[in-house]
Amino acid sequence: MKVDGACHCGNIRYEAEIDPERVGICHCTDCQELTGTAYRVTVPVANENFKLLAGTPKIYMKTTAASGRKRVQAFCGDCGTPLYATDPDQGKSLGLRVGCMKQRAELAPRRQIWFRSALPWALDLHGVAHIDRE
């Protein structure tokens, strides 16, 4: 599936070819802290299927809490939008952040990882009031 995305301010734009069956949620505490919310939704993309169209992401090198492995966190240096993560050597693939893709409504997660770190209240929001606009 072809997707395109951008940071919140629009300075960084990209397109990619992804497999929508590989969309996942990560509940690890690193993802909670890096997003400022309960979890992160990501889809892998092979480097050759990712094309940066505009801008240059700022890089933050994060050492993961559980394994000690280093991960490159790419984000917009102007608005702070998380864009992707990868290995320090740029590896074979990127973990694209679904939230900044135009097609995000079509990309339902298929699996959840680091579920032991999931915030219990985030697993069932059916009882939370719905407000269409504020």
pLDDT at 65: 65
Which residues have a Cβ under 8 Å from the Cβ of 107 and sit 6 or more positions away?
3, 20, 23, 41, 43, 98, 101
pLDDT at 69: 83
pLDDT at 112: 96
What residue has token string 């298929």?
110
Cβ atoms of 99 and 41 within 8 Å: the answer is yes
At residue 23, φ and ψ (nearest 5 deg) are -70, 135
pLDDT at 64: 76
pLDDT at 115: 95
pLDDT at 90: 64
pLDDT along the chain (134 residues), means of 10: 98 98 95 93 96 97 80 95 89 93 97 95 90 87
